[in-house]
Amino acid sequence: MLETLLRQLSTVGWHRGRSGSRTWIIVAAVAGGLRLLQRVTREHEEVLYRTLVVAGDQFEIVTKAPGKR
């Protein structure tokens, strides 16, 4: 929901700002900055293996703690 609102504000602000409105340029810059901040701080999980699971398949998920750095 928030991502959609920020994208719309960024797009509308950019289009109206190019027409000469300084306020809309500022709105576009703030909305774009917030979108970038969300994208950078989002946690991404790495996919190691992907397969189709059908009825009758058995699988085991094993995890271990990450090593110390």
Q: Write a three-state SS string for the chain.
A: CHHHHHHHHHHHHHHHHHCCCHHHHHHHHHHHHHHHHHHHHCCCCCCCCCCCCCCCCCCCCCCCCCCCC
pLDDT at 44 over 80: no
Mean pLDDT, rounded, for 28-45: 90
pLDDT at 42 over 80: yes
| Structural domain boundaries in the chain | 2-41
The model carries a pTM of 0.59
pLDDT at 47 over 90: no
Read off the pLDDT band of 24 (50, 70, 90): very high
